[in-house]
Each structure stands twice: as structure tokens, then as C-alpha cells.
Amino acid sequence: MSLQQATGKKLAVAREYETVSEIKGPLLIVEGVSDAAYDEIVEVELPNGEIRRGRVLETSTNYAVVQVFEGTTGIPVTGTKVRFLARTLEIKVSDEMLGRIFNALGEPIDGGPPIVSGVWRDVNGDPLNPAARNYPEDFIQTGISAIDGMNTLVRGQKLPIFSGSGLPHNMLAAQIARQATVRREGEEFAVVFAAIGIMYDEFLFFKRFFEETGALKRTAMFVTLADDPPMLRLVTPRAALTLAEHLAFDLGMHVLVILTDMTNYCEALREISAAREEVPGRQGYPGYMYSDLASIYERAGRAIGKKGSITQMPILTMPNDDITHPIPDLTGYITEGQIVLSRELWNRGIYPPINVLMSLSRLMKEGIGPGKTREDHANVSDQLYAAYARAQELRQLATIVGEESLSEVDRKYLRFAEAFEQKFLKQGFYENRSIEETLEIAWEVLSILPESELFKIKDEYIKKYHPKYRKKTQNQQKKS
């Protein structure tokens, strides 16, 4: 099963059956159904009048397999009515939804009034035509040096945070949501937030954060909690992205979508796949998980002739901090880079604990440079990477052979790494650095190294930005 792209095709009228023959896991087998459409939505009415929803996973001339969103607990074989509703799974979307909180199916759960205006959209969306995309290239300043300086985010990018349990990914995501701006425009992002199977306290953290920062009025939240049925977790990100697409491509807004936690999503996918007795791929996850994740992550970007954009920031916790686990692995193959958090840095008191070496922004090159950030940005970033990677090697070496048996230059690398972590990486939860400040700090820590080690920076930038030469020119200016 992969949730397929929808069509908007007219189906026949609703039909009702009372012929459930088998129930296993979240699945109902309904006999005698000859015309159920693939992906059609059904209502399941229990003998006590309770109504649940589901969708058709497989259909044939004499039966249909139905997956029940809210789970099959308490459903009897006899007396259960199954109504095929002649439509695919749709939610009503509108800009009224900003400032509100919804369940996975787009129904308000904040006690407020129902959404009045709006259009019905299939939650699965359609694939964006690659020939209709516009390439993302607008620099987003997040105010976080490790991101802006070395893993620049651009508008329309999908950049996940790879975290581990107990690491401050929620804080980081919240800080980004608060601080992200496109300079010169200064326009704030609309935030669409999908909580996928998270714990209630995490939900509260975000809710309170959005309230306190005044961001709630430009935020729509879609929430399924950890104890909700797995099927709802599969719908939550799709419902959120359906709203995001409406805001971005119909209403011209710039939307930041935060999906947390995609690990819960993948677990749900595995659970349902196992219930269907499908042939498993790696570690029991279904073989189609790549395509399924792509149908979520690819719903980001810019489009020709559209003012708005969707920037996606999925969060996932790597099981056992293992980046080769199928969930981060398949995600990394689809997304345009990743921000990796490090337990080691966090334990040493460094926030944000971003492991820059393992992090990457694939679209960085388009978002930086003269007119966007600064001409030396790319060189400086490359040099930081190369130097910090070299320093990490030397740190390992120093633990074996001792620091004193390293050469003088090598010892400078160790000092560089220390300064890099304490001055460049480390910053406050409320500290919002401009890109100039970020590059300033970068030059400061790079100047610890001898100039002949700066293999990645062109001479003209060294002369212009290296603190050594800048002090000279400043002194000259003072004298004159």
C-alpha cells in the first residue's frame, strides 16, 4: 500500500453493506462488495451507533479490504455496517485554519467553532510537476550560526532534523520557527505544525511556545498523540501538507511546515504493513517506505508563477542514535540535506548541539553569495568544514599519542576546534545572530590557524575579511 495520488474523479453514490467476514489488526474484510473504489473512504457503524472511518486498501469483484483509522477494537463481525462514501479522503482547507488546532482529519479540537469557508482537497495531493517547479534560492536567516553559516536553509527546501531521544530538537525547531526570516522582505512565515504520535507534554511545549511568542495566530496545528491509532498518524502529515499547499499555492503565503516526529510515522507504517502480512524490507519496514516517505517530503518547494512556497522541516529521532537506521537513511535520500544533533556536544553543554560535519544543506549554494549573504560565505564555510574535520582527526590522535607529540600547526587545529565549538556553535535559545555576525565569528575562529592552512579561501577574501588584515586597514584608516 502506498497512499496514492488522488484524482478528483466522480465515484458512484454511497453504498452500505453489513457483510464483514473477517477482522485482523486494523483491517476489515467486507464480502460481497463488487464496486468499491481503490482508496475510497468508508464509514463503519458499530451496533452501538459509534461511527469510525476507514479507507479501501484493496478491492475486487467480491470483497474489499478496509483499513479502519481509529482501530478495530470493539468491532463485531455481525451487526457492523460499512458505508462506502463514494469519495476519497478529503479535508476542508482555508486560511481560517491559522490560529487553530485540529485532529488528523482536519476537525477542530480546540473547542472553537467549525471552519466555515474553505475548499475540499484530497489529503494525498498530486505530485508537483518537475517542469513546473521553481528552484529554491532565497536565503532564510534562522539566526543560528551552525545553520546559517554552514548549512544554509533556503525557501522551499526540505531540511530535516535528525535527533535522538532526549536531545533538544523541539527547542531548536521552535527557535527556528520564531527567528526564521527572509531578509529584505521581513515577511513572517505561516507555520503549519503536524504533531505525529508525540507525547502530550511535547504538544504542550509547542502550543505554549507558539502562544507565548505570539506566533499562534499564524500557526495551524494538526495533532495525533502517541496513544492515537496508527492509521491516524499516517494521515496527519498529509492533512497538514494539504493545508500548506493551499496556503502556499492558492493564497501565495510562505509556509514553514514542521513535522514531528517522523519516526512515529514510520513505526505506524510498519505496524500496518505487518497487519497486512506484506513482505518486509530492511528491519521489518515495508519495501515501499521510500516511496511513501517521498510522497510526504516531496510536497515542498516553489512553483513557477506562484508567489508562495513550502519549506519543510521534518524532525525524527534516530533509534539508538543510528544514522544508518532505515528511517533516517531513507529520509536523507529524499530530503535536501539534514541537520544532525549530537549527544556528545549536548552532554558537553553545547546548544544547539549540531554535528556540523554530518549535517548538510544541498541547496545552500543557491542561497548564499554576493547579494544574498556575502561573497566569502562559501569559502569560509568550506574552510570551517575542512578545518574542523582535520581537528577531529587530530583530537583522536592526541588522545593516543598525547598533545605534546603533535606539531605546532596541529596544536593550533585543536585550539581552533575548541573555539569553534564554544564561540561559533554555542549560542543561546533566544540569541538571534545576523549572517554578518555569524561570518564575523567564523573569521575570528579561523584566524587561530596559520594563513598557509587556509586552502579553501581565495586570497582576495583573506585580504578583505581576515581579522589580521582588517585590523591593519582599520588602523590605517584611524591614522589618516
Q: Which of residues 410-449 bind another protein (CB under 8 A)?
A: 410
Residue 222 and residue 228 in contact, taking contact as beta carbons nearer than 8 Å: no
The residue among 142, 243, 263 whose CA lies nearest residue 197 is 263
Residue 189 and residue 180 in contact, taking contact as beta carbons nearer than 8 Å: yes
The residue among 304, 193, 174 whose CA lies nearest residue 249 is 304
Q: Does 21 bind another protein (CB under 8 A)?
A: no
Least separation, in Å, of the C-beta of 180 and another protein? 19
| Alpha carbon distance 21, 3 (integer Å) | 25
Binds another protein by CB under 8 A, chosen from 295, 312, 373, 427: 295
* Interface of this chain with another protein, residues 151 to 180, rule: CB under 8 A: 156
| Alpha carbon distance 419, 424 (integer Å) | 7
Distance of CA 340 to the CA centre of its chain: 12
Q: Does 310 bind another protein (CB under 8 A)?
A: no
- The DSSP 8-state label assigned to residue 365 in this structure reads H
223 or 318: CB nearest another protein: 318
108 exposure class (CB count in 10 Å sphere: 0-12, 13-18, 19+): middle
Cα distances from 412 to residues 387, 388, 403, 451, in angstroms, run 10, 11, 11, 12
Least separation, in Å, of the C-beta of 163 and another protein? 17
Least separation, in Å, of the C-beta of 186 and another protein? 26
Binds another protein by CB under 8 A, chosen from 13, 184, 370, 400: 400
3-class SS string, 172-219: HHHHHHHHCECCCCCCCCEEEEEEEEECHHHHHHHHHHHHHCCCHHHE
198 or 330: CB nearest another protein: 330
Phi, psi of 337 (to 5 degrees): 110, -175
11 or 105: CB nearest another protein: 11
* Interface of this chain with another protein, residues 242 to 281, rule: CB under 8 A: 249, 278-281
* Interface of this chain with another protein, residues 112 to 131, rule: CB under 8 A: 124-131
Residue 211's CB is within 10 A of a number of other CB atoms, namely 12
Binds another protein by CB under 8 A, chosen from 455, 476, 478, 480: 455
410 or 444: CB nearest another protein: 410
Q: Does 304 bind another protein (CB under 8 A)?
A: yes
203 or 420: CB nearest another protein: 420
Tell me the residue type at 477: Q
Output the CA torsion sign for 167, 172, 174, 175: positive
Least separation, in Å, of the C-beta of 459 and another protein? 7
Q: Does 37 bind another protein (CB under 8 A)?
A: yes
89 or 101: CB nearest another protein: 89
The residue among 364, 381, 373, 447 whose CA lies nearest residue 412 is 447
The residue among 43, 45, 60, 41 whose CA lies nearest residue 3 is 41
382 or 431: CB nearest another protein: 382
Cell triple for 112: 472553537
User: Which residue in the block uniquely carries the three cell numbers 588584515?
Assistant: 469
7 or 475: CB nearest another protein: 7
The residue among 309, 357, 302, 261 whose CA lies nearest residue 130 is 302
Residues 6+ apart with CB under 8 A from 477: none
Binding-site size, another protein (CB under 8 A): 95
Among the listed ranges 18-26, 164-172, 383-391, 424-432, the one in contact with another protein (CB under 8 A) is: 383-391
Among the listed ranges 165-173, 217-225, 312-320, 382-390, the one in contact with another protein (CB under 8 A) is: 382-390
58 or 431: CB nearest another protein: 58
Stretch 344-363: interaction string toward another protein, x if CB under 8 A:
-------------xx-x-xx
Stretch 206-245: interaction string toward another protein, x if CB under 8 A:
----------------------------------------
Binds another protein by CB under 8 A, chosen from 14, 274, 386, 419: 386
Least separation, in Å, of the C-beta of 467 and another protein? 18
Residues 6+ apart with CB under 8 A from 321: 164, 343
* Interface of this chain with another protein, residues 56 to 115, rule: CB under 8 A: 57-61, 88
* Interface of this chain with another protein, residues 314 to 333, rule: CB under 8 A: 324-326, 329-330, 332-333
Cell triple for 332: 536523507
Binds another protein by CB under 8 A, chosen from 217, 458, 471, 472: 458
Q: Does 405 bind another protein (CB under 8 A)?
A: yes
Binds another protein by CB under 8 A, chosen from 117, 371, 459, 479: 459
34 or 434: CB nearest another protein: 34
